[in-house]
Amino acid sequence: MTFLKKTAASVLALSVMTGAAFAGDTIKVGVLHSLSGTMAISETTLKDTMLMLIEEQNAKGGLLGKQLEAVVVDPASDWPLFSEKARELISVHDVDVIFGNWTSVSRKSVLPVIEELNGLLFYPVQYEGEESSKNVFYTGAAPNQQAIPATDYFLEELGVEKFALLGTDYVYPRTTNNILKAYLQGKGVSDGDIFVNYTPFGHSDWSKIVADVVALGADGKKVGVISTINGDANIGFYKELAAAGISADDIPVVAFSVGEEELSGLDTSNLVGHLAAWNYFQSADTEVNEAFVAKWKETMGEERVTNDPMEAHYIGFNMWVNAATAADTTDVDAVRTAMYGQEFGNLTGGTAVMLPNHHLAKPVLIGEIQDDGQFDIISQTDEVAGDAWTDFLPESSVLKSDWKDLGCGMYNTTTQTCVQTLSNY
């Protein structure tokens, strides 16, 4: 039954390409997630989430009296292909909004196209900040909504004095670690107490790095690991950590890219107590979340889990629907204006608000890994407003983004001028 439904949904979703005749009667929603290549592991889930959300909305009567229609394309984890497919979505398929991207580089690849053609993109993944585009709504966490609170937790609750920043070698870990380094120095942690290491994507040989981290404890300070290790490299890392017998009480690890999905590839019994910081965990104890998880499992199968970027799409999609309803059109500029101040309930309780800098105000959650692959939420803050430009790097601290009143994504508050309206790629 589920299978049939699933098939029916995908046939409906993908039939766009043949049925141009329907074009006038539907509102098209572009889904730009890799379905093949290295990122398919994370992004396929988001495509399925979008199809589920759209199907749900259509069951509720669609939007503005029309049915929604998903246009799914496969950029195949190939970054130049992202910009090609984005152009195709906007100029050939005439989509009114795009939900998509995972990696920062794919977002940077799409940015020029989307700004040139005045499209609308909802980007659901936690990212490094230092960017604000008029045409992008960032529904994932900015560094101050994930990295900074987690570091505070390390400093204050766990009393960590020496930090190992381990990351995969790409822009998100690099920038996040730069921000964290500046932040920690501001908190009085000396340079010598910050150990930084970068590994390639999919790295699997972790024994030496884990040994290096253990050796950090030699000067009698409490060591903590802040991990921005991406994707399946985590599996090898956690396996090595478990093998070395490092308990979370000795050297706690907090990860920013490890969620329920990544843990499903692991036996977590040796990792109990290690941490992750997100804006959402599947274990959040609310009724909306229960319903969301149940719906997801019904659509995709009992063993599937939900994760943070899925919630970001859930919030983003519903905000877009509400904004379009409020504006009574799907025109990009009208919807963008209507987006500011949109509120929608988080799955973890409380309300997310869309700010004029295109980021959300969301609560920050810290969870401990449990032996069933889920997280036990041990700390939940109030809503934190996402900050496009970090306050902890000198050149960014003077910048501010306000598309609503200032109409500028990169506004220098000391000189009171708009540095540029297009974003850096």
**Residues 128-187 contacting another protein, CB under 8 A:** 128, 130, 153, 156-159, 161, 169-171, 174-175, 177-178
User: Does residue 243 belong to the site contacting another protein (CB under 8 A)?
Assistant: yes
Q: What is the smallest separation between the CB atom of 341 and another protein, expressed in angstroms?
A: 29
Q: What is the smallest separation between the CB atom of 22 and another protein, expressed in angstroms?
A: 15
Find the part of the chain contacting another protein (CB under 8 A) among 111-119, 141-149, 311-319, 321-329: 111-119
Q: What is the smallest separation between the CB atom of 235 and another protein, expressed in angstroms?
A: 4
Find the part of the chain contacting another protein (CB under 8 A) among 132-140, 220-228, 326-334, 346-354: 220-228
Q: What is the smallest separation between the CB atom of 276 and another protein, expressed in angstroms?
A: 13
* C-beta closer to another protein: residue 157 or 328: 157
Give the x-and-dash track for 286-305 against another protein (CB under 8 A). Answer: --------------------
Find the part of the chain contacting another protein (CB under 8 A) among 65-73, 135-143, 315-323, 352-360: 65-73
* C-beta closer to another protein: residue 232 or 383: 232
Q: What is the smallest separation between the CB atom of 139 and another protein, expressed in angstroms?
A: 21
* C-beta closer to another protein: residue 65 or 188: 188
Burial of 40 (0-12, 13-18, 19+ CB in 10 A): middle
User: Does residue 213 belong to the site contacting another protein (CB under 8 A)?
Assistant: no
Q: What is the smallest separation between the CB atom of 339 and another protein, expressed in angstroms?
A: 25
* C-beta closer to another protein: residue 52 or 353: 52
CA distance 400 to 410: 6
HEC profile of the chain: CHHHHHHHHHHHHHHHHCCHHHHHHEEEEEEECCCCCCCHHHHHHHHHHHHHHHHHHHHCCCECCEEEEEEEECCCCCHHHHHHHHHHHHHHCCCCEEEECCCHHHHHHHHHHHHHCCCCEEECCCCCCCCCCCCEEECCCCHHHCHHHHHHHHHHCCCCCEEEEEEECCHHHHHHHHHHHHHHHHCCCCHHHEEEEEECCCCCCCHHHHHHHHHHHHHCCCEEEEEECCCCHHHHHHHHHHHCCCCCCCCCEEECCCCHHHHCCCCHHHCCCCEEEECCCCCCCCHHHHHHHHHHHHHHCCCCCCCHHHHHHHHHHHHHHHHHHHHCCCCHHHHHHHHCCCEEECCCCCEEEECCCCEEEEEEEEEEECCCCCEEEEEEEEEEECCCCCCCCHHHHCEEEECCCCCEEEEECCCCEECCCCCCC
User: Does residue 189 belong to the site contacting another protein (CB under 8 A)?
Assistant: no
- Residues 253-272 binding another protein (CB under 8 A) are 261-262, 264-267, 270
Find the part of the chain contacting another protein (CB under 8 A) among 52-60, 80-88, 313-321, 348-356: 80-88
* C-beta closer to another protein: residue 23 or 215: 215
- Residues 339-398 binding another protein (CB under 8 A) are 368, 376-379, 395
* C-beta closer to another protein: residue 221 or 325: 221
Among 57, 101, 104, 306, binds another protein (CB under 8 A): 104
User: Does residue 72 belong to the site contacting another protein (CB under 8 A)?
Assistant: yes
- Residues 393-422 binding another protein (CB under 8 A) are 395, 415, 417, 419-420, 422
CA distance 99 to 121: 6
